[in-house]
Structure formats: structure tokens, C-alpha cells
Amino acid sequence: MRRVRGKNTAPEMKVRSLLFAMGYRYRLHRKDLPGNPDIVFPGRKCVIFVHGCFWHGHDCARGARVPENNRDYWVTKIARNVERDRKNHAALSALGWSVLVLWECGIRDDASLERLLRDFLENRA
């Protein structure tokens, strides 16, 4: 598990690269916000989380699988992650921030990802 990163993951880097190419500028990993969001747009009060499907319990094929070894540990760990994410998103919303969650499995198509990001950022400006 030492090699599993929490920041600067490949899906996060892809989203950041696309945002930069679209002309958006952002801040990274703000520690003063609940959940330490991956990408923050302070002027727009928007945050983006780029979640790995397995680690955050997505309902896709990769997120639904549970390792055979130490099964109870993984089930409780992922349930804790899901609950923590829910609380962080609620706290951010209560503070007036707009939250977008991007899943690892959903960022494969650049065109649809670009449309989603543009809609999220422009409709909240």
C-alpha cells in the first residue's frame, strides 16, 4: 500500500491537464477546506474531487469488487471512506461551495469530460 498515492494520481493529473488547457486556473489540495479537495476554484467557490473507484466505493465494476484476502477489513475501510466523503461534501455545501465528484471510470472520454467540467464551472460563476 506504500505505492498508493493520495495526491497527483494519474486520473487527477488528466483532469488538471485538461482544465489548464481549457484556460482555467486553480489551487490544489486546500487543507483549510473539509476533505482537502483535489482541485479548488476559490473565486467560483467550486471544488472538484477526483475519486478512485475502488477506494471510494463507486458502483462500477472496479469499485464493486472486494479483495478476497482480509475481506472484512476492506469492506469496513471502504464504508468508512464513503461515509467520510459524504460528510465532507455536506460540510462543503453548508459552507457555500459547489462540489463535483469525478470518478476514475468516468474520465476516459475527453470530450464528455470537457463538457462536464465547462458546465460545472460556467453555471456556477
Per-residue pLDDT of the chain (125 residues; tens, 9 = 90+): 555 667 778 899 999 999 999 999 999 999 999 999 999 999 999 999 999 888 888 888 877 888 889 999 999 999 999 999 999 999 999 999 999 999 998 898 889 999 999 999 998 65
Is residue 3 one of the residues assigned to a domain? Answer: no
Is residue 97 one of the residues assigned to a domain? Answer: yes
pTM: 0.90
Is residue 27 one of the residues assigned to a domain? Answer: no
Domains in the chain, number: 1
Edge-to-edge order in the sheet of strand 46-51? 27-28, 39-41, 46-51, 98-103
Measure the CA–CA gap between 4 and 118, rounded to whole angstroms: 30
